[in-house]
Chains A and B, each alone.
Chain A
């Protein structure tokens, strides 16, 4: 797996685990989480970044080696997402942006239409756009046309830790969409991340499960290992799966040699 690099927006990444910055009890743990997970990409909610504050800012804790993926959490419309993205760029956060447009605070499900619209506008402006969406083939195709750099379908509703509830839909995206598929939201355990990678996802983003673990650094390491194991399993090529066990006395055995 040494040169199993993966590329987004022209950038080659060694790790397929993206991490987050939300929900930690102390942001000072972030460097250790990054190191333990091996992650190279970290998402940060622009809504929480206080560019005016000299200290006490999450940005202080993000290692310089990490690729910053600002997100538009808090945006309820495409327009708000676009404004947040531009703000991120203006504040020196680079040109990667994770689009989150959530107009339903009850379930925190992303608005696919608005996400496609924001993606189109920002991709045209030169952003590397990673949109967070439902695992929906039509939305994903529109995102491809809109110029997205990857598609980030949810595994389960955000913060639920329920794992790959949308597995079959994600499988379809992996088969049909010619962009990196990064499973985002809902992955609660390393085994969930491993399963997503075994299925052929290109990467996963994990925040809540690491940030709210009793030992975030250890959990980060576990996710890093799980993602590598899953990826290795996928690359190794799974043995063909069979629906039933091979019956030692086949039920149709009587047909063998029946020449009459």
Chain B
């Protein structure tokens, strides 16, 4: 059974009506459990839990400290191509956008890598738009080969690949991938993706599963909050993560908290997600998935990032540019979204230390080059 089939079974349950019906007692029950079920997750995402965020926060803080201590992993995205064949209405790389597009040459990738490595970062997330012919898997392999010289840990955030292609990426040195379903509501997904290969909801939904089958160590997923009903999307993303944890216990499944930010194409979220809402998503997902790493990007302000840290965030991006070539001399690319926290790596690291956290730069390395 795939997660898509599991989703089908929940269709009736994840209506906002089900969420609205949860009561305070349901939340209290969920807070008292060690292993929460889907019903508990619903309760924690309900308006009833929204009125009890302090209770959720206390428990989430305690769980996070126990499982992760005071260590926070730092990474940065590296945009290598902004060509895109899709027309996702919410994205600055949208194919309708006029203006220049860029794809780094391997030499430019090396320049970016050198700049990033000089900041001390040891984990990089490689991003492209979704333009297979322009940035095919062979190109990704070449990019990974260059980056491997600089970084022990490489993650990919690219278009959905087949299982065989994920296996190739592992061979080329990818430790993991990040792939967002954007919204788990198929109808809204259709509206948000009017054309292009990404329109295939099912192929995208199955991508984390294919990556796990291929043997990927680390798989991050999420919705893009603000596209659909955030409670439903947060529920489905967490359920998706749990399903993957249960079926691929060897893989590390993690979550992110991306929220719609202003961007070049100007589309604004139909269902805005407030700071309070984002906090509730974090708390509910932390309680439901106590051991999952949770990432908070520079889409969020310094103040919010710092305040959410003790509540369950375990990974932060730092020193971020969301445009192709943004770390090198040439900054001509258009940003995918506006960064709300533009602090450098050393500033983020200093902030963490000041708050009693340890910035972690390296947490794994490929073992295939170790002499037997």
Give me the interface of A with B, judged by CB distance under 8 Å. Answer: 22-27, 47-50, 53, 56, 74, 76, 80, 83-84, 86-87, 90, 103-106, 108, 159-161, 208, 211-212
Contacts and interface: CB of A to CB of B under 8 A. Distances in A.
Interface string B344-362: 0000000001001110111
Contacts of B252: 105
B66 interface: yes
A159 B122 contact: no
Contact of A105 (B68, B70, B251): B251
Nearest to B353: A26
Contact of A24 (B69, B246, B362, B365): B69
Given A48-B363, A53-B361, A106 B66 contact: no
B250 A104 contact: yes
Given A53-B362, A56-B361, A212-B70, 11 more contacts: A22-B71, A25-B69, A25-B356, A47-B365, A48-B363, A76-B250, A105-B251, A106-B245, A211-B69, A212-B65, A212-B66
B173 to A, nearest CB: 15
B249 A25 contact: no
Interface in B236-283: 245-246, 249-253
Given A50-B362, A208-B69, A56 B370 contact: no
Nearest to A22: B69
Nearest to B357: A25
Interface of B: 65-71, 120, 122, 152, 217, 245-246, 249-253, 291, 353, 356-358, 360-365, 367, 370-372
Nearest to A84: B367
B249 A106 contact: yes
B367 A103 contact: no
Contacts of A108: 291
B254 to A, nearest CB: 10
Contact of A47 (B65, B253, B291, B364): B364
Nearest to B366: A83
A159 B66 contact: yes
A62 B253 CA distance: 31
Nearest to A161: B66
Contacts of A103: 249-250
Contacts, number: 83
Nearest to B242: A106
A87 B370 contact: yes
A90 B245 CA distance: 34
Contacts of B360: 48
B367 A106 contact: no
A22 B362 CA distance: 13
Nearest to B64: A212
B356 to A, nearest CB: 4
A87 B245 contact: no
Given A22-B69, A25-B70, A105 B356 contact: no
Contacts of A22: 69, 71
A72 to B, nearest CB: 10
A50 B123 CA distance: 12
Nearest to A76: B250
B291 A106 contact: yes
B239 to A, nearest CB: 15
A161 B63 CA distance: 11
> Which one of B217, B249, B356, B372 has the greatest number of beta carbons of chain A within 10 Å?
B249
B61 to A, nearest CB: 11
Contact of A90 (B67, B353, B371): B371
B361 A24 contact: no
Given A87-B370, A104-B249, A211-B69, A26 B362 contact: no
Nearest to B68: A23
A26 B66 contact: no
Contacts of A90: 370-371
A91 to B, nearest CB: 10
Given A47-B365, A49-B362, A106-B246, A23 B70 contact: yes
B70 A86 contact: no
A107 B122 CA distance: 27
Given A22-B69, A106-B246, A159-B66, A27 B358 contact: yes
30 contacts: A22-B69, A22-B71, A23-B68, A24-B71, A25-B356, A26-B358, A27-B358, A47-B362, A48-B362, A48-B363, A49-B362, A50-B122, A50-B362, A53-B120, A53-B122, A74-B364, A83-B367, A83-B372, A84-B367, A90-B370, A90-B371, A105-B253, A106-B249, A106-B291, A108-B291, A159-B66, A159-B67, A160-B66, A208-B69, A212-B66
A86 B367 CA distance: 10
Nearest to B362: A50
A105 B363 CA distance: 15
A47 B68 CA distance: 15
